[in-house]
Amino acid sequence: MRILIVRLGALGDIVHAMPVATALKRALPDATIDWLTDPRYCDVVKLVPAVAAAIPFDPRGLVAGDRRADTMAVVAELRGSNYDAVLDLQGLVKSASVARLAGGARTIGFVRDQLR
């Protein structure tokens, strides 16, 4: 099973989300868990033994500018990873959009009226 966690920032929120990865790995020991995060926090995410890969993603590239090509390359890579589940732990429209763009078999997150 392949799982992607989407929690882009901020640092304190990422730290609070770390137990989710650990709990998932405990429940699904054969799962591969990747984490999509702001490039500034990849080193922190890599400290979690349950996480196989910390994937840098700058959401500002979704809007426009010279980061757009890099952003779309990451989205294409995510789609090619064939995740079984994508978990949006942020609850923002931005993170929900990225979670959907990842193209997992199932996207799990906040209900629409709980998004910020």
Q: What is the pLDDT along the chain (116 residues), one digit of tens a residue?
A: 999 999 988 888 899 999 999 999 999 999 999 999 999 999 999 999 999 999 999 876 655 555 566 777 888 899 989 999 999 998 887 888 888 989 899 999 877 665 55
Q: How far apart are CA 41 and CA 14, in angstroms?
A: 8
| Residue 110 contacts residue 88 (beta carbons within 8 Å) | yes
